[in-house]
Structure 1
Amino acid sequence: MIIVTGATGLLGRQIVEQLLTRVPADQIGLSVRDPKKAQAFAGQGVRVRQGSFTDAGSLAHAFEGATQVLIVSVDKMGEEAVRQHRAAIDGAVTAGARRVLYTSHMGASASSHFQACRDHAATEEALRACGVPFTSLRNGFYAASAVQFLGHAMQSGEVVLPADGPVSWTAHADLAAAAAAILADEGRFEGPTPSLTAAQALTFDDIARIAGDVTGRTITRTTAPDDQFREQLVSHGVPAESADQLLGIFAASRAAEFAAVDPTLAGLLGREPTTVGTVLREQLRSD
């Protein structure tokens, strides 16, 4: 049985939806914090069990009968994130899974400027030490994050952000489809995958231009000093630690940590990956 954690989140839910097009429902199990949120999958014949990375007993039950376990990374950063990922890895190994998969990041490195990428690197070290074959999905930076950084720029006509570098912004839906393809073809990748990215690496100057094309209006990109941007975030109630973590994204992009472009994702999809322009158009339609 293929077990997917975090299956009610944005990425995990789409992975399960894609997996259902490739694998019979009774071969899929979900480990979720709140089973009520996964009832739609249960109604399709998917096994749904409560599982928490902070409760080893719940993972033993949720991972029972696992052949593969896909650990979707938690929405935390720092020591707590790595601790939870290690607990999930231990749970998968204890359950007898013959392969552990993990949603990592293209910039995973112990020396990254971005905390989450340092966490991914630490988790990958735990995977290497776990004694079971593993696949680490080196996902491109989520295009949804670019949309969030734009904020109200498509209405206001101005986006004010720190200096940045090119980033290969990649759609959740494409990464979900790739994960499902890899799960359905066990052992296709051993260890970290190549970077799973869109076809272009773009700066926010590029994104402002694309957003202008999408909206039919001029959108100006203004650069804010890091300290000023941080102060503004904190003044709006963002915790100082979170503000520093957000700034880490821009520092990492300036260091070209997210600039790589690789054809592997297109090969898994059998088509070109979704563009940022398409993601922006979809966002406008949903607003």
Structure 2
Amino acid sequence: MSLDESTPVTTPAPSAAPTVALIGGGPGAWDLITVRGMRRLQDADVILTDHLGPTSELDRLCDVTTKEVVDVSKLPYGRQVAQSRTNEMLVEYASAGKKVVRLKGGDPYVFGRGFEELQYLAEHGIACEVIPGVTSAISVPGAADVPITQRGVVHSFTVISGHLPPGHPSSLLDWDALAKTGSTLSIIMGVKNAGKIADALMSGGLPGSTPAAIIQEGTMDTQKSVRCTLGTLGDTMKSENIKPPAVYVVGAVAGLEVAPNA
């Protein structure tokens, strides 16, 4: 059977009552979660949380006194709950007949191990609904007046995980190639390695004068933003005492400014 323009194409609806909801909680501020994500939180019996997203303000999204909230955070360079244990808990709670929410920061598929959890649930016969979230890689720069793209300035952007330094044996990145793309580079999870990342990009041919912007705790009341250049990125991270979570942007868009009223 072939399809033509008159043939209706339908997408199967998700299960009316999925056992697990895998939710992207957004970049930090509690009210940047999706409406669908908030409704699943309200219906949940158990919520497994990360340290990012709206975790600290769950009580603004649902009645936490009626739910079991389990912290399975993986703190940068700190306390960690093994991913394997998180996977097991999802299955254990779901198998016990609980409505389970796995709440992640940002979007569950942007360096969030969401697909690993989906695969594990599928292997154990557990239905799962995936609810996308607002990724910090785009929204956090936007909250600091840094557009990821701009007409006439840049036609693409690249989202990069900076958790491994250039040259690390497990790194999958070609920094020389990234330096030559002409794209905006949005780097998350890269505070510790910012200086080495900047050096690698400059070694690849990206000028040290390229504008850069650093945004710490974006979308939160504690948001802090700093403008610098690629050449001063590493030193600025240290002098400004930048801590995770932070996003930094490298490219022409980081040098744009909002024109004041005449």
TM range (shorter): 0.3 to 0.5
More strand by share: 2
Q: Which has the higher Rg, Structure 1 or Structure 2? A: 2
Normalised TM-score (structure 2) = 0.36
Normalised TM-score (structure 1) = 0.34
